[in-house]
Amino acid sequence: MFFAMSFTKKWLADDIRALGIGPGDAVVVHSSFKKLGTVEGGPAAFIEALAEILLPDGALLFPNLYIPHEFTAGNPPRFDLKKDSIKKLGVIPETFKFHYAEHFSVHPTHSMMGMGRRCGEILSGHEKAGCPCGAGTPWHKNALSGGKILLAGVGQQSNTTYHTAEELMENTFKLSKDVIRGEVVFDGRTVVVPSRLHLWNVYHADFNVLNPELEEAGLLKKGLVGEAETLCLNAKGFIDLALSRLDSTGHLK
């Protein structure tokens, strides 16, 4: 008779620590709950395993994205940071949003949410950046602060920080020429956020091809969290390498 293995919160925490994540770190998490295997306590156990490692002095960060369609000046985004569902991102960030998140960055499409003392330095000022993921955004600030990226059961295609590299390119191919005035609803008030937004009909490079070089440079560590193949990335190292490889059309050299 076959018995499926069940992973406890402690087991997941030990797996996460083995990837080099520790107290005080700032970590942006992208994840697939299904890939973790059978987890005692469900998505909450994974979130709490991370929180027990990182907090109170670090930052546990998740994407809070709203990207259902291409936006234009005539059809701008409107997003409620705390109330709108993000179930398309998976059950882990959805659970985090409605039961754990304490801080939110203010952007109509590429908000980030988190908990922990370092959230203030990372999440503040997103509404002033003028872009979703580039300079002045939490995605870039996490990297500049020495932060990490955890890809648990997902690949680089789920790593929102690759957009940071695309947006930091001179004359970036990724952003609309026009500034679009999106609306963010936050605690019952509406904030207008002017921002260039992503163009989604452009070429998307496969950043997984950078993994061997990142690993060789000590910027990526591989392991298992539960049953999920997981990558832990140095966020700034990833951005720097991606920038050095991107050409003007978004292809990797």
Q: What is the pLDDT of residues 22-40, one digit of tens each?
A: 999 999 999 999 999 999 9
Q: What angle do CA 34, 39, 42 make, to 5 degrees?
A: 80
Confidence class for position 4, pLDDT limits 50, 70, 90: low
Instruction: Supply the pTM of this predicted model.
Output: 0.96
- pLDDT one-digit tens code per residue, 126-178: 999 999 999 999 999 999 999 999 999 999 999 999 999 999 999 999 999 99
Q: Which of 116, 36, 108 is nearest to 76 (CA)?
A: 108
Which tens digit of pLDDT belongs to each residue from 61-103?
Answer: 999 999 887 898 899 999 999 999 999 999 999 999 999 999 9
pLDDT given for residue 3 in this prediction: 52
Domain chopping of the chain, boundaries: 6-245
CA distance 41 to 51: 15
On the 0-12 / 13-18 / 19+ scale of CB atoms within 10 A, 120 is exposed
Cα–Cα distance for residue pair 126/132, rounded to 1 Å: 8
* φ/ψ (deg, to 5) at 238: -65, -50
Shortest CA distance to 11 belongs to which of 43, 45, 44, 55?
45
Segment 207-236 shows an average pLDDT of 98
